[in-house]
Amino acid sequence: MLAALQARLGSASIEIEDESRLHAGHAGAPQGGESHYRVKIESTAFRGLSRIERHQLVHEILKAELAGGVHALALELSVPAPDPGAATNP
């Protein structure tokens, strides 16, 4: 999952947390595997994209993983804040 995201999003800040243990025994959750993830990404690739478009992009990147046993994916997607020290008029 991390490799696929890094390949498409470059220098993004990416955190992936396996939350499968929190969902053991829930309906639809596979036994003994990694199935539930929380993914936090901060990337300039999201600039100009709506929240829905950001989610669509990540789902497209992770298409293979989502088809292969990931049951739930919680996404927190953001754009880096502008550097307050950067000159706006060079």
78 pLDDT exceeds 80? yes
Q: Helices marked H in 10-89 — which ranges? A: 51-61, 63-67
Number of domains within the chain: 1
Phi, psi of 5 (to 5 degrees): -65, -45
pLDDT of residue 22: 65
Residue 73 lies in a domain: yes
**What pLDDT sits at residue 45?**
95
Q: Does some domain include residue 90?
A: no
Whole-number pLDDT of residue 31: 56
What percent of the chain has pLDDT above 90?
51
Domain CATH number, residue 10 = 3.30.300.90
Task: Give the structural domain span for 57.
Answer: 2-23+35-78
Do the domain assignments include residue 72? yes
- CA–centroid distance for 5 within its chain: 8
Q: Is residue 66 situated within a structural domain? A: yes
Per residue in 13-47, pLDDT (tens digit) is: 999 999 876 655 555 555 556 678 999 999 999 99
